[in-house]
Amino acid sequence: MSLNENSFSVVSAQKLGLTFETGDGPVHALSNVDLEVKKGDFVSFIGPSGCGKTTFLRVIADLEKATSGDIRVNGMTPEEARKARSYGYVFQAPALYPWRTIENNIALPLEIMGYTAADRKARIERTLDLVNLSGFGKKYPWQLSGGMQQRASIARALAFDADLLLMDEPFGALDEIVRDHLNEQLLKLWARTQKTICFVTHSIPEAVYLSTKIVVMSPRPGRVTDVIESTLPKERPLEIRETPEFLAIAHRVREGLRAGHSYEE
Amino acid sequence: MTAMNKARLHFWWQSWQGALALLLSLAALATLPLLADAPEPYNPITMFSVFLLTIAAAVCALLPLPGMLVAITLFVCTHLSAAMLIAGLAGNEGKATGALYMLVAADWLLAWRCVSLLSSVRTRSKSLDGLLRLIIPAIFGAWILILWEVATRGAGIPFILLPPPSSIAARIATSLPILWADVQQTIFKAVLAGYILGSGAGFLTAILADRFTFLRRGLMPIGNLMSALPIIGVAPIMVMWFGFDWQSKAAVVTVMTFFPMLVNTVAGLSAAGTMERDLMRSYAADYRQTLLKLRLPAAMPFIFNALKINSTLALIGAIVAEFFGTPIVGMGFRISTEIGRMNVDMVWAEIAVAALAGSVFYGVVALGERATTFWHPSNRGG
């Protein structure tokens, strides 16, 4: 992690707050969030539902606007960053367009951003290979399994030149075995592409397995309760989840979650 | 042994039509003649053939033979026998007896059995499947016409009330040039022009209403109000505005088809999911890109819904609008004048042509829908 210490800050939030005005009065989705995400980091956001982890990701993506504090993405406001197409976003569901084939779904951002046809073709091929979907380009999304669809949506987010990948519980709807497999692939992909990844999850093993930095959040109001720098090596086989080091980090995450969450409610 | 008994029982249950048909034809035989005091009674050879065909078909339906063989035998026998019965009815209107109706009922039951056999046939070839898909509804349709013919001629129903289908068909055959001129006037000019103008204008207005909030706020409630109005009532006004020729009918069709398209397209444009829209926003896509690449494709099922509704509305609008003044050609004109001259067969001929044209129109739109919205869960099947 020493490599990252002086490197460029991709996301930097100071005293960030977001309040939704609802019929039942204001809801504090985020309050006083301070956070730095460095270039090349794999940051997981973990916490119970309502802790604002998805909201925070959506603020980075300029899909929501913060109501107080300051946030910079690649040194710009989120809106400028979005207009500069600085990030790829992977949603909870694949959100592939059913009238487009897989390769045309991957071509969608490329068409919008004005890449040439030849460039599009090369990028589709490369990203399909990255997510192990070569040969499925001509299929329609509804002809593939849920795991394959989600991989296609990751390919779509990787197709254009954004260094930041925002992932909102991308594997939440998949079963454990597929999920393990995709986690392993995601780590390899992260190593190959050198992207910065912000990853929202509610699974402790997933967060510990994937991340260089784990942000533990708690609800009412949504806030950061702990930031854990992972001591695990960059090379992580699935078996690493049995090691004492892994379990120690998982324990600290669990403690952080418990501290922030009062079960008496 | 028991399995075989069960199979046999099952078989008997399956062909209860055969058993009933046999009973009916025997009853008909016992209560001859087929026509009472007929000027031109059936000749003995025809009578013999009709009974032979019907009884043979009924027996065939009861025997444990291969399904396809039975179906073909039933198809040939019942239709031959029905054709001979109908041929002998002409000139003997109102003279049919219970025996004749029983015989026709027997044939009808056997044709029913034939259809149920055909619809349970599994074929391996696609073309044969397609043929079956055509034959089964064709037999259904044929029997509606056969029963209609037998009822009108057999019971001597007055021509003015309901002419038999054979005289409607004869009228169609002798009036082809007139019918063709009417189709050209009403469908190729009024319906198509109005349909394209109305649907196109509704579509463009929906896009504008989507783009500009003030239009959506102001126009949509009025659109909903207008779509509830009986728009056919504006037909006389359109004749005043646009004259007697097809332009005034096209105007009525335009007004009728405008609002269904407007309302459906506006609904369709909000059919895309929030996640899909967020995706477009994350790409910093502009309004035009989001519209073309997401919202219009997602709206296609709604748009085709409107196109299908409009295909029937347009035909109704054009025909009824012609009741309020036309040059001396057009389907609506023909219907309104011929009914006044008691030429009911011509009215029915126009109705048949309109039904055919309407079905073709609808079918073309439905084909376009299948090609465009193949991805929609309701169309994915095949």
DSSP A119-140: HHHHHHHHHHHHTT-TT-TTS-
A39 and A60 within one domain: yes
What are B176-189's pLDDT values in tens digits?
999 999 999 999 99
What are A104-119's pLDDT values in tens digits?
999 999 999 999 999 9
CB-closest option in A83, A88, A97 to B297: A97
Q: Chain-wide mean pLDDT for chain B?
A: 89
ipTM: 0.89
A51 and A145 within one domain: no
pLDDT greater at residue B91 or residue B362: B362
A73 and A140 within one domain: no
A57 and A102 within one domain: no
> Is B283 in contact with A99 (Cβ distance < 8 A)?
no
CB-closest option in A62, A95, A99 to B279: A95
Of A152-161, B102-111, B371-380, minimum mean pLDDT range: B371-380
pLDDT at A173: 80
A121 and A191 within one domain: no
> Is A93 in contact with B380 (Cβ distance < 8 A)?
no
A63 and A38 within one domain: yes
A170 and A154 within one domain: no
A126 and A71 within one domain: no
Judge whether residue B219 has pLDDT over 90.
no
Of these ranges, A48-62, B56-70, B300-314, the one predicted with the greatest mean pLDDT is: B300-314
Mean pLDDT value across residues A178-185: 86
CB distance from A112 to chain B under 8 Å?
A: yes
> Is A97 in contact with B281 (Cβ distance < 8 A)?
no
Chain A residues whose CB is inside 8 A of the B294 CB are 97
Cβ atoms of residues B320 and B230 within 8 Å: no
Chain B residues whose CB is inside 8 A of the A92 CB are 275
Mean pLDDT value across residues A64-83: 91
What are B255-266's pLDDT values in tens digits?
999 999 999 999
Chain A residues whose CB is inside 8 A of the B382 CB are none
Judge whether residue A183 has pLDDT over 70.
yes
CB pairs under 8 A between A and B: 52
Handedness of CA A145, A150, A156, A161 (dihedral sign): negative
pLDDT at B241: 92
pLDDT at A2: 41
User: Domains of chain B: which residue ranges?
Assistant: 3-157, 172-379
Mean pLDDT value across residues B268-279: 92
Burial state string for A54-89 with b = 16 or more CB within 10 A and e = fewer than 16: bbbbbbbbbbbebbebebbbbeeebeebbeebbbbb
CB distance from A99 to chain B under 8 Å?
A: yes
CB-closest option in A92, A93, A113 to B283: A113
CB distance from B241 to chain A under 8 Å?
A: no
Examine the fold and report which residue of A108, A138, A161 is the final residue of a domain before the chain moves on: A161
Our CA-based measurement puts residue A238 at a distance from the nearest CA of chain B, in whole angstroms, of 32
Our CA-based measurement puts residue B281 at a distance from the nearest CA of chain A, in whole angstroms, of 8
Examine the fold and report which residue of A161, A183, A216 is the final residue of a domain before the chain moves on: A161
> Is B289 in contact with A112 (Cβ distance < 8 A)?
yes
> Is B282 in contact with A98 (Cβ distance < 8 A)?
no
Our CA-based measurement puts residue B282 at a distance from the nearest CA of chain A, in whole angstroms, of 6
A224 and A173 within one domain: yes
Could you tell me the pLDDT band of residue B33, with boundaries at 50, 70 and 90? confident
Could you tell me the pLDDT band of residue A100, with boundaries at 50, 70 and 90? very high
Q: Chain-wide mean pLDDT for chain A?
A: 88
> Is B293 in contact with A108 (Cβ distance < 8 A)?
yes
Our CA-based measurement puts residue B359 at a distance from the nearest CA of chain A, in whole angstroms, of 28
CB-closest option in A63, A84, A97 to B294: A97
Residue A93 CA to residue B283 CA, distance in Å, equals 17
Total count of domains within chain A: 2
CB-closest option in B284, B297, B380 to A82: B284
The reported pTM is 0.83
Residue to mutate among B274, B282, B380, with most A CBs inside 10 A, is B282
Judge whether residue B1 has pLDDT over 70.
no
The amino acid at residue A141 is P
> Is A112 in contact with B283 (Cβ distance < 8 A)?
yes
Mean pLDDT value across residues B346-355: 94
Residue A211 CA to residue B218 CA, distance in Å, equals 53
Examine the fold and report which residue of A146, A161, A176 is the final residue of a domain before the chain moves on: A161
Give the CATH number for residue A66: 3.40.50.300
A171 and A82 within one domain: yes
pLDDT at A265: 44
Mean pLDDT value across residues B191-197: 96
The amino acid at residue A42 is F
Which of B131, B129, B146 minimizes the C-alpha distance to B85?
B146
Chain B residues whose CB is inside 8 A of the A85 CB are 283-284
pLDDT at A45: 94
> Is B285 in contact with A142 (Cβ distance < 8 A)?
no
| Closest chain A CA to residue B277 | A95
> Is A95 in contact with B275 (Cβ distance < 8 A)?
yes
> Is B275 in contact with A113 (Cβ distance < 8 A)?
no
Judge whether residue B356 has pLDDT over 90.
yes
CB distance from B127 to chain A under 8 Å?
A: no
What are A212-254's pLDDT values in tens digits?
999 999 888 888 888 999 888 888 888 888 899 999 999 999 9
| Closest chain A CA to residue B282 | A82
Residues 118-157 of A with CB under 8 A from B: 140, 142
Cβ atoms of residues A230 and A261 within 8 Å: no
A79 and A174 within one domain: yes
CATH number of B172-379: 1.10.3720.10
> Is A140 in contact with B375 (Cβ distance < 8 A)?
yes
Mean pLDDT value across residues B269-293: 93
Please, how many CA atoms are within 13 Å of residue B299, restricted to the half-sphere of its CB?
24
Chain B residues whose CB is inside 8 A of the A99 CB are 297, 300, 373-375
Residue to mutate among A89, A101, A139, A198, with most B CBs inside 10 A, is A89
Residue A21 CA to residue A24 CA, distance in Å, equals 8
Residue A127's domain comprises 94-161
Which of B243, B225, B256 minimizes the C-alpha distance to B320?
B256
Preceding amide of A221 cis, omega within 30:
yes
Surface-to-core class of residue A167, CB atoms within 10 Å of its CB (0-12 exposed, 13-18 middle, 19+ buried): buried
A201 and A255 within one domain: yes
CB-closest option in A82, A91, A98 to B275: A91
Which tokens is B125 given?
A: 């070839």
Residue B181 CA to residue B175 CA, distance in Å, equals 10
Chain B residues whose CB is inside 8 A of the A98 CB are 375-376
